[in-house]
A and B are shown apart, each in its own frame.
Chain A
Amino acid sequence: MADNKLTLLKAPIIEAVLDIDCDMPPGKEISTLEPAAHEKLRPQYPKVRRIFVQTHQIETPPGEAPKVKLHQAVHGLQFLSEDEKQLVQFRAQGFSFNRLAHYTSLDDYLPEIERTWQIFVAVAGPVQIRSVRLRYINRIMLPMPEKSPLQLEEYLKVCPRLPDEGNLTFTGFLNQHTAIENETGNQVHIVLTNQPQENNMLPLILDITAENNALAEVENWPCLLARIQALRDLKNRVFRNTLTDKCLNQFQQP
């Protein structure tokens, strides 16, 4: 398969996120953008949620009942589709577009990404782009053999190993790698971990984030698009080279 073409009949993507971090204009509070943003986004994203940062302060004066105080500040706005499978986020740091399962292809979502990004630019007035991140969270179900331990290397080209494998058995793992692509300077963060066993299946989470940290102009959509596509290529390459053919073939079965 070519690097930029990875077509799977049943892709294991749980969530795809595009983050565009920006320098925001000084003095602008994200919470004040809600009315203008929702007016433009409401037809496709009728639901709004605020993202808060909260601190809970518990004071225990001697001889008195504990006192609890809550302090909170708005850190971002989420605009959700009716079925809550697609989100646009206006964050204090920039813009995000989230697509949850069922996910088809990035090409299917790019027009909507462009449209909602332009709304963000118009409403929030970002000064410049600082970084672009493309994150794909995959959930891969591995069948547990009945009478022997699961051999991860049958499914993963890059897999966790244990010292003294004859006497130790995995009960859980978390692998995290960060790398830079020599030719482009793009970075990739790969997290591999497991969830608790479900019936006879082991859910594996393969979380790949491809990132570009070059400055860019907010008005230049073609440049931004090219960047997104380069990150997609990197992500696809990492995905394909993390999993064995036996694993990849699972996703070609309808």
Chain B
Amino acid sequence: MLPSGLPNIVGDDEEITRFLTQSSHYNSAMPKPAAFMPDPKSRNKSVFRCGADPERIRELWEKTTNFQQTLKAAAVCKTAEVRNAGVDVIASEPPDAHANIEGWPWLVNDPELQKAKQKEIAAVIAQKSALVML
């Protein structure tokens, strides 16, 4: 059990949430693939295990943010869908309820092909994600 009280292993049924601070990371239909592209430094993508409840989302955001960005929306996806896309969700606390999408393909010799593979995965996750406006 983690300090937050959540299980160590992120279950397939759990909903994970990506905070969206850029209006260009979503449109009226859905989150965009760019919202899920991994950070090249950390090689993962930060998410929270808080589901789609707007109050819970805002609460976690206020606990973890430095307030330099404004939370505009959230992308919510089932962990099983993320795993079906070919990557994994690994708990990573602190902060509370934090996890990372890990296991992205990295091809040092061909960064563009690497990017293309990552983009396909990110597109699949975006497609399976619900958009929560805040």
Contacts and interface: CB of A to CB of B under 8 A. Distances in A.
Q: Do chains A and B touch in the complex (CB under 8 A)?
A: yes
Interface of A: 26-27
Contacts of B109: 26-27
A126 to B, nearest CB: 15
Contacts, number: 9
9 contacts: A26-B109, A26-B110, A26-B111, A26-B112, A26-B113, A27-B108, A27-B109, A27-B110, A27-B111
Contacts of A26: 109-113
Interface string B106-123: 001111110000000000
A27 B40 CA distance: 14
Contacts of A27: 108-111
A156 B111 CA distance: 51
Contacts of B112: 26
Contacts of B113: 26
Nearest to A26: B110
Which 9 pairs from chain A and chain B are nearest by CB?
Answer: A26-B110, A27-B111, A26-B111, A26-B112, A26-B109, A27-B109, A27-B110, A27-B108, A26-B113
A27 B106 CA distance: 13
Interface string B56-78: 00000000000000000000000
Interface in B89-113: 108-113
Nearest to A25: B109
A68 B108 CA distance: 35
B114 to A, nearest CB: 9
